[in-house]
Structure 1
Amino acid sequence: MRNLILTVLLSVIAVVSGYVEELDDKFKEYLQHELWLVEFYAPWCAYCHTFEPIWHEVGAELKSMGSPVNVGKIDTTVHTSIASEFNIRGYPTIKLFKGELSFDYKGPRTKDAIIEFTNRVSGPVVRPLSSVQLFQHVMNRHDLIFVYIGGESLLKREYYKAATEYIVHTYFFTASEEVLPKVVTLQDVPAIAVFKDGTYYLYNEFLDGDLSSWINRERFPSYFQIDSFSLYQMGELSKLVALAVVDEKNPSEESIRYKTLMERLSTEYRDHYKSDYQFGFMDGNEYINGLIMGEVEMPSIIVLNMSIDGYCLPESKIETIEDLLRFLNSVLDGSAKLLGGNGFLQWTKRSFYKAKSTVVSMFQAAPFFSCFVFGLPVGIVALVIWGTCTAVPADDEKPVEGATANPVSDAHGKKAIELQPDSTEKPSEAKKED
């Protein structure tokens, strides 16, 4: 209850202070002339309540930085047409509006990550590196960047087009040959390079195919710590994800060995597996357990196919890099058993699992609010059922004693005399008796 009250107070402070503006469906009128970072939320969403203080911090920091980006939020349960227009399917959803373009934020729900995204996307899509010092400064700040080297060309136009699509994930720059590090060797100009993993790789149209697809494959380090957000993005790739699932807080000798094997393989066998695998490690098994709807031991090795929600586990213990190579090759040639998947049964099971997880998380984050959300419809249904079962039928007309409800025909088809309670006439049999 205390957390819920604190969340509401921070929300009110954010709105009153001007850091976060409560929007309505008229905010679309501002988009042509202003930059907007907007949270689409629903009052019943427990994640939205938990996220509210972070969103306030984002608005406050962008304001203090003098950012031209306005920060707002909109209740899609009130403005339902907005949810349909912008295809809002989950909460909270974050979008940055820049002219006629909108960019979805799919990263961690942290202040620093959101501000990094905002600064990157709100600025130029492609930024120039005009000096050796500036190039080195950018290299020190970012683990991965794409750089176009050369003058005007068809390749440059394709690069700008791809940069507009992938600016939500990473940075794009242009530079001349003079400002590049001395270790960079170009066979031809113009050229495009990705700088990552302490080295660089050049785009080759004949070997790598479409530029946009190459950028999509190369926008991750060869080996890095993968979280739930980056793993979700792997579904957009054609690669499998090879993971060492470990406990970073209490690393065992086997955890360290799995991480080392995976990192070594990602470096030594990059050219062999670069089109097939993304390598990394994950701290903890909670997200993986939810993904496979089971329990993954820690530490362990697992290969995920995020496009079909499938996974493979090694049948024997991984001791050496040769063991790991055999396992990865067995996944590629189909001899490894594929578990999970997106068949109807698995889809039904996963939907139920996600619904149950969502309800549990709602009660953990905001128990009183969740009781109200779920208790109100249950209470209404219970009252309706109770009222139906206990209702006493009302008699519209009470039959009069000694009278028939309707005229009755005799055996010859003639109507019998209809008895009336006040009638003085009697049947012939009654008269004889008298």
Structure 2
Amino acid sequence: MTETQPKSVDLLIEARWVVPVEPHGVVLENHAVAVDGDHIVALLPIDEARRAYVPRETISLGEHALIPGLVNSHTHNPMTLLRGLADDLPLMVWLQQHIWPAEAKVMGPEFVRDGVELAVAEMLRGGTTCANENYFFPDAIGATYRKLGFRAVVGLPVIEFPTAWAKTQDEYFERACEVHDSFRGDALLGTAFVPHAPYTVSDESFERIRVLADQLDIPVHLHTHETAQEVEDEKKKSGLRPFQRLQKLGVVNDRLIAVHMTQLTDGEIAACVEAGVSVVHCPESNLKLASGFCQAEKLRKAGVNLALGTDGCASNNDLDMFGEMRTAALLAKAVAGDAAAFDAPFALRAATLNGAKAMGLDAKIGSIEPGKQADLAAVRLDDLETQPLFNVPSQLVYATGRHQVTDVWIAGRRKLAGRVLVDMDVDGMLARTRAWRERIAAH
């Protein structure tokens, strides 16, 4: 009987625990992930992996959990440069009196580039490997993500007033199509329409978005039902709740990524299930702006695809998906009055595979499975703050801090090595960030 010869692969990552997310709730002890090129070849016990593969590089993570890279399903990453600018204010005061005026002074390609670079560094150090981006100058945003080798869905903005990006409705759509075409076929970048919100986007624009999203086969990612005031204002204006208006316009379908959704009826939840809508829950931003409480457990039980996002650093004030998982799980229990609500394995799923599904990327990322892209994060669990360890998913969600992320890979490329960012000029980044702080503060 002839023995099978070991196969050559680029990388073998050996870990004390592997949490693949799919199958749900599973934790594999003393397992290895074999990676070749940009994809996962196999997930198997370490002893078997050593016999089956000859890796060019082996990384042994003795007291780590290896998880899929976290997916931040709603963020405005250039706004890292506005972190802490206008805190402790309600949404509309924060937005209209502080954020929009500040952006009007500084928004441009350089602001976007430097903000995204700072955000990527922060996300990588927190185990995040993919972002669903929503901001102006998507051409500069996408170019920066591409340069840094970070995975993202880049938003194509539409809003009914002039900005530094576009002046008219037609210009928003013309530039959106140009940006989409420029990133078509990119290995790490996709696009989505990002109409700001029902209260800032017209019926005509939503109808154009619906047609174009179908033609281009991309998602529609928007804030909706963020506050009770938003709902009441829309009812006075059109006689409809915002979600009803979106239904009437044909936007409620399986392309829709609805962000915040703190004001929902049971009928609207059922309609999300029927239409295949994904909901992105941003608990920390909602809490900080006093926007309301998303009925996360109701959505989960109903079968809605529920993902997690941080929102932007101007309203959160960080891009910490570990913090978001913990807050989401704790808040859901309080809102539902049920200590079993939004349990730890589901929190991890919401921060990985569900986010990938919302963005149309679940065939590529979000779980550790052969054939998928090697987007991975290693989390050290032997720190005193995470000892003793009885249950890995619970420890990841309720006790772990992002500072325990040691290594990160995107499409098989190492982006964080022993807490050190790979191929990023940290000193230069910090110098540019301080310069923006001075410029913004001067206004």
The structure where strand makes up a greater share of residues is: 2
Interval containing the TM-score (normalised by the shorter chain): under 0.3
What is the TM-score with the length of structure 1 in the denominator?
0.27
- Bigger relative contact order, structure 1 or 2 (CA pairs below 8 A, ≥6 apart): 2
Instruction: State the TM-score, normalized to the length of structure 2.
Output: 0.26
